[in-house]
Chains A and B, each alone.
Chain A
């Protein structure tokens, strides 16, 4: 069962902040975040392990709430280069190692 991402799409002006959520109905071991630009392959951003850790990548950070089985991706002071579709990939507790189930994506557009 695919994780649910919200919102499905968001439009920002450059410099604004955004939050993208990824929720699962299954207990998770890890959440992986990717960004995909139009016509290109998804690019790995970061991995979050159960335990609620938070990680950062430039001005993009993420958290993992183990109780809620939800991860959130935070984009601060957005730049034009942040435009693209963001996917979360989840790995279930007890699931086959290295198998990810991806959400349907959140399309982010940053404008001037």
Chain B
């Protein structure tokens, strides 16, 4: 258990509405990540953070933004949700400081449905 929580755990929303997902960690890890998981695609990186206010894009970042104002919280925002963003979203942390042997640990996930 890497002390990662996600909220909400489940959410149903309508197309066009803004949605914010929260990832909270208790162990002061520097690196945090947001992935989405869809059948047939595995886990795909949306955005990641390497420190407070330091973020970068992943491979599927269109339609998503992130913010990290505190070490422990990493927020993922869908500015205007679309049905194609229906997915399971996982937050992850990395246990080290950016080295090649870092291990990522995942939060419990958020199931988002956009109607």
Contacts and interface: CB of A to CB of B under 8 A. Distances in A.
B100 A101 contact: no
B80 interface: no
A41 interface: yes
Interface residues of B, number: 28
B103 A42 contact: no
A60 interface: no
A57 B105 CA distance: 17
Interface stretch (B35-43, B62-70, B71-79): B35-43
Given A32-B103, A44-B105, A104 B41 contact: yes
Task: Select the residue from A49, A87, A97, A103 with max chain B CB neighbours within 10 A.
Answer: A97
B22 interface: no
Given A41-B90, A104-B40, A105-B42, A98 B98 contact: yes
B45 A97 contact: no
Interface of B: 31, 35, 40-45, 48, 50, 56, 58-59, 90, 94, 96, 98-109
Interface of A: 2, 29-30, 32, 40-44, 47, 49, 87, 89, 91, 96-105
For the complex of A and B, the 10 pairs showing the least CB-CB separation, nearest first, are: A97-B98, A41-B106, A104-B42, A102-B43, A98-B94, A102-B42, A98-B102, A98-B31, A29-B100, A105-B42
